[in-house]
Amino acid sequence: MSNITHEIQKRILVLDGAMGTMLQRYKFSEEDFRGERFKDYPTSLKGNNDLLSLTQPEAIAEVHRKYFEAGADIVETNTFSGTTIAMGDYNMEDLVYELNFESAKIARKVADDFTKANPEKPRFVAGSIGPTNRTASLSPDVNRPEFRAVTFDDLRIAYKQQVEALIDGGVDVLLVETIFDTLNAKACLFAIDEVKEARNIDIPIMVSGTITDASGRTLSGQTVEAFLTSISHIPLLSVGFNCALGAEQLQPYLQRLSNATQFYTSAHPNAGLPNAFGEYDQSPKEMQVLIENYLKDGLINIIGGCCGTNPEHIKAIADVAKNYKPRMVVSV
C-alpha cells in the first residue's frame, strides 16, 4: 500500500510535531468547534480537537502543510482521540467513523500535493491511534484494585472501527502511539490484525510507547525490554517512544531499545519538560542539539516531535537529520 518501507531504508524519516500545539494558535472558541453543523449540540465541544476535521478542515490541512513545508516526511492524522471510548466524553460515539475517514482524507490530499510537487521526496500519512482515556491493566478506583473501566474486547471493537476508517481514508501507515498501557496496545494490534486478515491487505504499523518518569517504565509498569517483548509478536515497521519526556531524558531508553530490537526505531519527544504552567519552553535550536545526539549514536530511523513542538522544531530536526545515516537494522 505504500513505499514507506523503501524510503526508511534510504534515510532518516522526519515525523511531524504536535497537532494540539498548533491548534492552540488559532484560539478557536466554542462556536468555532461547533461550526454550523453542531451549533445546537447539547454537550460542550471546545477541546475536542478531532472534531475540527469536520468543522475547521482548512485549519487541519494548513497544519499538515506547515509541517510538510518544514521538512516532514510523515504527518499524523488528527485522530488521536478517534475512538468511541474517547469520544464518549462528548457523546459523539456515532461520529467516530466519519471523524477518522475525513481526517485521513484531509492529510492524504495535502501529502499527495507535496509528493506531486516533488516526487523525489514522497510524503506519507500516518493514521494516529491514541491510547484512549481508559486503561485495561489498572483500576481507576483505589478501593477496588480488581475493577477495570474497560475490557480488552471493548478496546478491540473500538480500535477496529477506527482502523477501518483510517484505511478507508487512505493512510499509508498506522501509528499506535503514546502507549501507557501495553494491554490497550495489544487490543489495538489485535484489531489491526483482524482488519488486515478480513481485507487481505498489508499495511505498515508503527508502535510508540511512553516512558512516564525517571523509573524508565511505562505507566503500567513495564521496562523498555518488557514493553518490546510484549508487542514484538506482530510484524512492525517501527517501535519507539514519544511524549512524557523531552529528548534529553528519552535518550537512554532509546539506546536500550535500539540495542534490543530488529525493528526500525522511532522517537518523537516533547519540547523538553513542562514548566510550572504546563507549557513547553525548549527552543527548536535546543531540541536540535539534543536530537543530534541520537543521530550521532545511530539510534533512530524516524524522528519527530510531540507536545510543545511546532514547525520550527521540525525544521530544525529535519535540517540536522539529513546529515546523518539512519540506524542500521541488524539481527539481534
pLDDT tens track for 137-147: 887 888 888 88
Local confidence band at 200 (pLDDT 50, 70, 90 cut-offs): very high
Would you tell me the crossing angle of helices 247-260 and 284-296 to the nearest 10 degrees? 20
In the predicted model, is pLDDT for residue 332 greater than 60?
A: no
In the predicted model, is pLDDT for residue 172 greater than 90?
A: yes
Tell me the three cell numbers of residue 261.
530490537
- Digit-coded pLDDT (tens) for 68-124: 999 999 999 999 999 999 999 999 999 999 999 999 999 999 999 999 999 999 999
Going from the C-alpha of 212 to that of each of 19, 139, 171, 293, the distances in angstroms are: 20, 18, 29, 21
Looking at every residue in the chain, the average pLDDT score rounds to: 95
In the predicted model, is pLDDT for residue 316 greater than 90?
A: yes
Instruction: Read off the pLDDT of each residue in 10-34 and give the average, rounded to a whole number.
Output: 97
Local confidence band at 2 (pLDDT 50, 70, 90 cut-offs): low
Alpha helix (H) residue ranges in the chain: 4-10, 19-24, 30-34, 52-55, 57-69, 84-87, 96-117, 152-169, 182-199, 224-231, 247-260, 284-296, 311-321
- Digit-coded pLDDT (tens) for 39-74: 999 999 999 999 999 999 999 999 999 999 999 999
Contact residues for 229 (Cβ-Cβ < 8 A; gap 6+): none
